[in-house]
């Protein structure tokens, strides 16, 4: 992109989705305004520091050095954009979607919409949000109309934090528009950023495709989690069962059990679909509601297994020294959003356990009060009445743990030692 072709991109939201998008856009030549309401985030970016796994301090510093990346908390700085992308959170509140951040983003952008510009929503949400909520708020800013005077589209985010293979650039990008002209504009924009765009029939199909992706994972993880519970009762090694089934070269995809699901996607996104089906059709989406129940109760099952393990040695959970290996919701990431490991920690604390934890990736500020964050030395591991493996980071001291831990409950099938009780 030459200087004469440079376009101004506004990215609303500078979190796990918006920041990688901003970095890539700067890389290909856009002038990027990175807007976020969190002052601490903007201050860190302005000083060249990151706060997510997939963007380094060097990436931020390099973007700033180009003079084409401007982090800001001022909505007025959004003015003059050619393209705006909204990447804000969409949490659940009491089982219903909370679109407050999406609504605020649309309201902030509305005064700055201009003829020929493009606005894209990336936030995960239920079908109909773009048409029924986002566009009306954009149009409230003046006489211009979406699809007639400017283009609007939807492109669901597919960020998988800390994935060493699939990143923002090489993950296929679903794109859709409120009309054919908008759909073409969305596809052309993302084709400058990613290797492959995937146009779909319409906005609602694109919105639902994202929910299907995560519901598929959520339901299958629930299946193997419940299978793990049954296998323990039957005296069957669930990990051996999964390994054997995985040798089938067709018709099977392996999923593995664990202490529950975490992050922003799996604990939340399928519930958007379940909520909409119940609201619109008056029916329950039984697969999703069953999966929610199973996965939400896995931390309780892990605590029950820990209590069983200690009880078999005539020990109570109260006053037992329990060491938690890993606190993040997924391996090789510092992301602790909705982490089941934190739920396990809180449950054990309520039972009176003395807790310590090893996790070099998680921000110490996110470690629950009363949990002693340790390095995982031989003495610290040997002093534990029970070690519970909750997150299988590559850089945890596995060799030390295997040599010095007398009793291990492994929810991730990572430890190779005789004194291991696997999920």
Contact by Cβ (8 Å): 265, 124: yes
Q: Say how many Å lie between the first and final Cα of the chain, rounded.
A: 52
Q: CA 384 to CA 321: how far, in whole Å?
A: 5
Please, what's the b/e burial string for 270-292 (b: 16 or more CB within 10 A of its CB; e: otherwise)? Answer: bbbbbbbbbeeeeeebebbeebb
Residues labelled catalytic: 265
C-alpha atoms less than 13 angstroms from C-alpha of 304 in its C-beta half-sphere: 9
What radius of gyration, in Å, describes the C-alpha atoms of the chain?
A: 24
Both tokens assigned to 262? 């975490």
Q: How far is CA 364 from the centre of its chain?
A: 19
Q: CA 416 to CA 11: how far, in whole Å?
A: 45
Q: What is the DSSP string of 182-225?
A: HHHHHHHHHHTTSS-EEE-S-HHHHHHHHHHHHHHHHHHHHHHH
């Amino acid at each position: 992109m030459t200087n004469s072709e440079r376009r101004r991109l506004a990215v609303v939201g500078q979190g796990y989705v918006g920041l990688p998008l901003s970095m890539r856009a700067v890389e290909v030549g856009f002038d990027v305004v990175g807007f976020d309401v969190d002052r601490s985030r903007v201050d860190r970016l302005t000083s060249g520091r990151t706060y997510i796994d997939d963007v380094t301090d060097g990436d931020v510093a390099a973007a700033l050095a180009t003079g084409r990346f401007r982090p800001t908390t001022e909505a007025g700085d959004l003015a003059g954009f050619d393209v705006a992308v909204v990447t804000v959170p969409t949490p659940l509140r009491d089982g219903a979607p909370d679109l407050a951040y999406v609504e605020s983003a649309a309201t902030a952008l509305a005064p700055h919409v201009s003829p020929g510009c493009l606005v894209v929503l990336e936030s995960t949400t239920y079908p109909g949000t773009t048409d029924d909520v986002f566009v009306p708020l954009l149009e409230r800013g003046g006489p211009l109309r979406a699809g007639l005077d400017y283009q609007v589209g939807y492109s669901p985010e597919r960020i998988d934090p800390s994935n060493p293979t699939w990143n923002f650039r090489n993950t296929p990008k679903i794109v859709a528009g409120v009309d054919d002209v908008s759909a073409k504009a969305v596809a052309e924009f993302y084709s400058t950023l990613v290797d492959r765009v995937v146009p779909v029939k319409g906005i609602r199909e694109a919105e639902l495709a994202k929910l299907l992706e995560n519901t598929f994972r959520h339901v299958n993880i629930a299946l193997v989690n419940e299978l793990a519970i049954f296998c323990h009762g039957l005296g069957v090694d669930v990990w051996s069962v999964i390994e054997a089934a995985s040798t089938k070269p067709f018709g099977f995809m392996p999923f593995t059990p664990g202490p529950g699901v975490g992050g922003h996607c799996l604990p939340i996104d399928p519930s958007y679909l379940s909520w909409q089906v119940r609201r619109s059709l008056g029916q329950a989406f039984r697969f999703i509601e069953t999966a929610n129940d199973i996965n939400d109760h896995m931390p309780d099952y892990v605590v029950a297994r820990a209590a069983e393990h200690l009880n078999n040695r005539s020990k109570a959970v109260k006053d037992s020294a329990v060491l938690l290996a890993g606190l993040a919701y997924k391996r090789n990431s510092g992301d602790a959003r909705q982490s089941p490991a934190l739920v396990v920690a809180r449950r054990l604390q309520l039972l009176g356990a003395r807790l310590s934890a090893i996790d070099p990736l998680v921000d110490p500020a996110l470690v629950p009060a009363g949990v002693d964050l340790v390095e995982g030395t031989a003495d610290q591991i040997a002093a534990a009445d029970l070690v519970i493996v909750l997150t299988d980071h590559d850089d945890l001291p596995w060799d030390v743990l295997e040599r010095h831990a007398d009793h291990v409950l492994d929810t991730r099938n990572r430890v190779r030692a005789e004194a291991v009780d696997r999920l």
